[in-house]
Structure 1
Amino acid sequence: MKNTLLFFLTALLFIRCTSNNEVDLIVHNAKVYSVDSSFSIKEAFAIKNGIFIDIGTSKDILKRYKAKEIIDAQQAPVYPGFYDAHAHYFELANLFQEVDLNGTKSMEELIGRLQQYHQKNPNKPWIIGGGWDQNLWPSKTFPTKDSLDKYFPDIPIYLSRVDYHAALVNSAALKIARLDSVFDVQGGLISPDAHGKPDGLLIDNAMPLVSKHLPKHDEQSILKFLQQAQDSLVSVGLTSIIDAGLNDEELDYLKTFYAKGQLKIRDYAMILADPLQIDRYIKEDFFESDRLNIRSIKLLADGALGSRGACLLEHYHDSPTKGFLLHTPEQFDETIKKLANSEFQVNTHAIGDSANRLILDVYGKYLTDNKARRWRIEHAQIIAPKDFAKFNQFHIIPSIQPTHATSDMYWAPQRLGDERIKGAYAYKELLKQYGKVAIGSDFPIEHFNPLYGFHAAIARVDHSGYPSGGFQMENALSREEALRGMTIWAAFSCFEEKKRGSIEKGKDADFVILEKDIMEVQAEELRKVKTLRTVIGGETVFQRSSQ
């Protein structure tokens, strides 16, 4: 009997050891930035069923395990899969199908791109595009419908500004919307011409007056566009995105596509909520799956600095306006009070110092378990000196986009003046207050490559290296801080730090292999570093060709 029992136990132990030794993937001979609490560097790891099951030296990992696939990284650097902590997936997918106006240097160049697009797509019922920025044009003045009408008198046109907080439309689009007069719009502006008629420029809450008439795509087209965008995202090492505000229809599409396994990238999706309809949202339960999570509400406090919709405490330095809130302070107070009594995380877009003060104060007024709730302010772009401490006091996560600083630095000082600009894009100060920052890009407003944001965060210069010495370098981040911001801190900002964000035992096997080490390469080389492989849940979703 004893011999039988001993044989059984020995056999069982053998089976378990054999099973544990068989894994799906081994990566070795690598420089693995674990981004764990001590920021340790390893050499190898083993993956089974989409999970990191062991991490250590190459010798130990290769000795302990047999794998279906073995990757010799040849000393290449390996990082946790990159997060984009503030992104717009559907807008990027749509922009790939529309007229990309990013970087246009004049209205004439914009018209030229529209003409090229129309020639290639003569049967499109609308011309839709985005990305224009009048601050890049010689006059720096906002465009009107006049030029559009001259070249496109019959086909309706809708062109989003680079920040998606303003749109330029032509007379044909205004006619479809039956928008032939100027009237007050709460939280928005219909820009008037010399005769008091709409001049084609719509800001913030005025935009839906026309955008609601845009043609819709069918489900299969939307899936195709999202997959195309996904291909671009994983090609630069992104494995997770925090989707900053989706409507009901978009959320339903994501649920369908993820349920069918048709999308790979992980998506933490925020519900874009109208404060006037908040009751129906807080009655809903969280939606949580392996790749898609919905447990947060996105609010919009104000507009953007570039379109002078950001709400400031004092007048713009270059215009007699303070911008505006998109809803009244009373509406925000009532909404946030209700949300504080729900289980939802709240993430509020706030650009101007007035909007940031309002949201910080209302957060602090109603949150009682601040640390656990992890409420965020998206952008936290311009902060009055006495308000920085509120991020610490109320435990509010700053969600920042470093490339905004290096895109806006050419004209932001004119908007804000010499004193207020010191409290703008103040990422180091925000980090000191909260102890973490979640780093994203706000794509497609900025490019989706996370290394562009990494570069902007540490060097505070644009793609050309301007300005020499960096823009407001007192607010630059260290490389370790920037890497944490796009991995473990971003994961923390959406309650995922126990699942991913670092390369540790028991976590999802999301990682990226780069051709050069971004922790050591010269700053001017960062934007050129290529992704060699992107892996989500142990599955390679992108691999660069060796050719």
Structure 2
Amino acid sequence: MGMTPSTLYRNGRVYSPADPRATAVLVRDGRIAWLGEAGDEPSADRVVDLAGSLVTPAFVDAHVHATSTGMALLGLDLSGVSSAAEVLRRVSEFAAGLPGDAVVIGHGWDESGWPVREPPSAPELDRAAGGRRVYLSQASVHSAVVSTALLAVADPSLLGWNARGWLRQDAHHAVREVALGSLSVSARREAQTAALRRAASLGIAAVHECGGPGTSSEEDFTSVLALGGRGLPEVYGYWGELGAAGKARELGAVGAGGDLYADGALGSQTAHLRVRYVDADTCGHGYLTADQVAGHLVDCTRLGVQGGFHAIGDRAIATVLAGFGLAAAQVGVDAIREARHRVEHVEIVDKQLIAGLVSFGVVASMQPAFDRLWGGEHGMYAQRLGAARSMAANPIGALAGVGVSLAFGSDSPVTPLDPWGTVRAAMLHHNPVYRVGVRTAFAAHTRGGWRAVRRDEDGVLSPGAPATFAVWDAAGVSGGLPALLSSQAEEPEPALPVCRRTVLRGEVIFDGEQA
């Protein structure tokens, strides 16, 4: 088979440690064959004039849910609604265009900013949807309000069941499985494709799909894995089922983790905390014991599969790290470290817990947009935790400062796919102590995502490396990267860069000129 045509990208600004002055890149057979200054470039089969645009490594989103993201893009998006009444109005309008036997699926409502912090009840949803079944996930995706027909699916004895239809924990998982299972194969594929195309249009060349019982079905999980890389971003899957390392590998996953829940979420008051919530008489809920964590990690390590857990609250993270210690006693600390096991979210941690992450070589998969949307002294976290704990949440700078491996993502549709917005959120943490610089944040959202799936050669532009990059229109560049912050406190932040092209291993997966 002959070689693919080579392409020279010239007359741009290339962010590369190999040659900080580079203005051109030659791509051949999926790799960077040369980079340097224009005028010195070798010949190529094709030439693309960058017209001064910026070229950087493409982004990796380290935590997504493709089907739910696509459904939010194509269907009923409830982010930004300001009251239960507005939810009902939006449901009524959306349901009017659906068949009578359809399930109305929506996402994104967040009651924490409403005048009355209570979502619609099941009977109210029945009336708004004209008797259709309704499933509306809260922004955290750890609770949902459902119609009467779907409420009947969950046994009232399940944890988190509520007669008004606002379900959490096991009751929510049971109903979510039924609601998402109502999607046809074609509708699911359409949603997944929409999500991946959206990612590519934002300069994202790879995503980490997090599935598992209570989150998605095996069919849903394998179908999105099958789409990856076929003119779309690559998809690396994490199957979150306890003790299922072998099964994860059979499903095509790179890890048995992701949405393997050690606890819930702060928004639904189910994240497992050492100190009670301010606005509820609970410390949340822990789903795993240290022994269970250890058994899972030992299986993963011995099979050569990454393990990992969803853990948000400090008590849940402490349980997970205790499990790491038990596992290390069986297989050795070096084996645990070499496996690059992961913890998703890592929101409430202290110095001792951070030290545990360092000791075991844990990858912290974090979402800076959580702080942007819900952090600070007056946001949802402050309602749940109090101002002091809220300002200590998501301590990105503290983790980066001691060498914890970071991989940034969105948890889409919990927060939108928004890579440069994510980088800026890490730079503008509500607590200045936990802010990081643009290079650290960018690396966590690019090379950090590749390292998290053990692809160490990806995520940097240098000769011989994979030709995976994005081309940007950026209003200003400082130190090789876009200027994301204003120079004066009273000035608005600069516009975020706009993606013109995304290239994955030499293949163009998004072209803004043809979009």
The two structures share one fold, judged by TM-score above 0.5: yes
- Find the counterpart in structure 2 of residue 485 from structure 1: 444
Alpha-carbon distance in 2 for matches of 1:422, 1:433: 19
Q: Which amino acid aligns with 1:51?
A: R
Once residues 133 and 295 of structure 2 are traced to their aligned partners in structure 1, the CA distance between those partners, rounded to angstroms, is 39
Deviation at 1:98, TM superposition (A): 3.0
For residues 386-425 of structure 1, what are the structure 2 equivalents within 5 Å? 386-409=352-375, 410-425=379-394
State the alpha-carbon separation in 1 of the partners of residues 465 and 184 from structure 2.
37
1:447 paired to 2:434: no
Task: Report the residue type matching 1:544 in the other structure.
Answer: G
- 1:519 is aligned to 2:482: yes
Measure, in 2, the Cα distance between the counterparts of 1:546 and 1:125: 35
Distance in 2 (CA, whole Å) between partners of 1:514 and 1:57 is 18
Instruction: Tell whether the 8 Å contact from 2:256 to 2:308 is kept in structure 1 after alignment.
Output: yes
1:451 touches 1:526 (CA, 8 Å); kept in 2?
Answer: no
User: What is the aligned partner in structure 1 of residue 399 from structure 2?
Assistant: 430
Question: Which residue does the alignment assign to 1:364?
Answer: 325
Change (3 A) 1:325 1:318: same
- Aligned amino acid, residue 178 of structure 2: H
Q: How is 1:347-362 mapped onto 2 (pairs within 5 angstroms)?
A: 347-362=308-323
Query: Measured at CA, do residues 58 and 323 of structure 1 come closer, stay the same or move farther in structure 2, by a change above 3 Å?
Result: same
Mapped contact 2:61–2:445 kept (Cα < 8 A): yes
Query: How big is the shift at 1:355?
Result: 0.6
Letter in 1 for 2:223: Y
Map of 2:169 onto structure 1: 204
The answer to whether residue 20 in structure 2 is matched with residue 52 in structure 1 is: no
The match for 1:139 among 109, 116, 121 is: 116
**How far, CA to CA, are the matches of 1:236 and 1:73 in structure 2?**
17
Is residue 165–residue 203 contact of structure 1 (8 Å, CA) maintained in 2? yes
- RMSD over aligned CA atoms reads 2.5
| Structure 1 counterpart of 2:191, one-letter code | F
Amino acid across the alignment from 2:37: T
Aligned to 1:15: none
Is 1:79 the equivalent of 2:37? no
Cα distance in 2 between the residues matched to 1:250 and 1:209:
16
Tell me how far 1:255 sits from its aligned partner. 5.1
| C-alpha distance in 2 between matches for 1:243 and 1:212 | 17
CA distance in 1, matches of 2:182, 2:60: 29
Unaligned runs of 5+ in 1: 1-18, 192-197, 288-292, 461-470
Equivalent position SS for 1:341: helix
CA–CA distance in structure 2, aligned partners of residues 91 and 308 of structure 1: 22
Change in CA separation of 1:543 and 1:57 when aligned onto 2, cut-off 3 Å = same
- In the alignment, what sits opposite 1:463? none
Alignment deviations for residues 245-280 of structure 1 (CA, whole Å, 9 cap, x no partner)? 25421333245445xx7452111111121x2x5375
Which aligned pairs between 1:36-47 and structure 2 lie closer than 5 A? 36=17, 40-47=20-27
Q: Does 1:229 align with 2:195?
A: yes
What is the match of residue 472 of structure 1?
431
User: Which residue does the alignment assign to 1:465?
Assistant: none
Distance in 2 between residues matched to 1:527 and 1:436, nearest whole Å: 29
1:38-437 to 2 correspondence within 5 Å?
A: 40-61=20-41, 64-65=42-43, 67-123=44-100, 125-152=102-129, 154-175=131-152, 177=153, 179=154, 182-183=156-157, 185=158, 188-191=159-162, 198-214=163-179, 215-246=181-212, 247-254=217-224, 256-257=226-227, 262-273=230-241, 275=242, 278=244, 281=247, 284=249, 287=252, 294-298=254-258, 299-367=260-328, 368-369=333-334, 370-409=336-375, 410-437=379-406
The equivalent of 1:464 in structure 2 is none
Q: Equivalent residue for 1:11? A: none
Contact 1:78 1:512 in 2 (8 A): yes
Give 1:202's aligned amino acid: L
| C-alpha contact 2:11 2:49 (8 A) present in aligned 1 | yes
Q: Given residue 334 of structure 1, which amino acid in structure 2 is its aligned partner?
A: G
- AA paired with 1:534? T
- Counterpart of 1:33 (choices 12, 15, 20) is 15
Mapped contact 1:153–1:172 kept (Cα < 8 A):
no
Residue 328 (structure 1) shift = 4.1
Change (3 A) 1:254 1:521: closer
In 1, the alpha carbon distance for the partners of 2:186 and 2:134 equals 24
Q: Which piece of structure 1 moves more, 82-91 or 349-358?
A: 82-91
SS at match of 2:219: helix
Shift of 1:326: 2.4
**Cα–Cα, structure 1 residues 342 and 423, in superposed 2: closer, same or farther, change >3 Å?**
farther
Greater Cα radius of gyration, structure 1 or 2: 1
Q: Secondary structure at the match of 1:199?
A: coil
Whole-angstrom CA distance in 1 between matches of 2:192 and 2:402: 37
Which residue number corresponds to residue 512 of structure 2? Answer: 544
CA pair 508-526 structure 1, distance change in 2 beyond 3 A: farther
Classify 1:443/1:79 alpha carbon distance in 2 versus 1 (closer, same or farther; 3 Å).
same
- Structure 1's 332 and 452: CA in aligned 2 closer, same or farther, altered over 3 A? same
Conserved? CA contact 1:379–1:401, under 8 Å: yes
Shift of 1:349: 0.8
Counterpart Cα distance in 2 of 1:229 and 1:361: 36
- One-letter code aligned to 2:353: D
Q: What is the CA-CA distance between 1:450 and the residue it aligns to? A: 0.6
| 1:339 to 1:222, Cα distance in 2 relative to 1, 3 A | same
Q: What SS does the aligned partner of 2:208 have?
A: strand
Number of equivalenced pairs: 490
Q: Which amino acid aligns with 1:509?
A: A
Change (3 A) 1:224 1:151: closer
| Residues 454 and 419 of structure 1, relative CA distance in 2, 3 Å threshold | same
The match for 2:6 is 24
Q: Is the 8 A contact 1:205 1:326 kept in 2?
A: no
Structure 1 length as normaliser, TM-score? 0.83
Distance 2:19 2:398 in 1: 22
Match of 1:267, SS?
strand
Query: Residues 102 and 130 of structure 1 are in contact (CA less than 8 Å); yes or no, is this contact kept in structure 2?
Result: yes
- Aligned equivalents of 1:329, 1:294: Cα separation in 2: 23
Q: Distance in 2 between matches of 1:452 and 1:393?
A: 31
Q: Report SS of the residue matched to 1:212.
A: helix
SS at match of 2:453: coil
Q: What SS does the aligned partner of 1:541 have? A: strand
Query: TM-score normalised to the size of structure 2?
Result: 0.88
Tell me how far 1:39 sits from its aligned partner: 8.5
C-alpha deviations, 1:173-217, integer Å up to 9, x for none?
224x2x4x632x3xx4112xxxxxx22011022113323333533
The 1:504/1:411 distance shift into structure 2, 3 A limit, reads same
Q: 1:280 to 1:395 in 2, by over 3 A?
A: closer
Deviations 1:459-493 (A, max 9, x none): 23xxxxxxxxxx11111110111111111122111
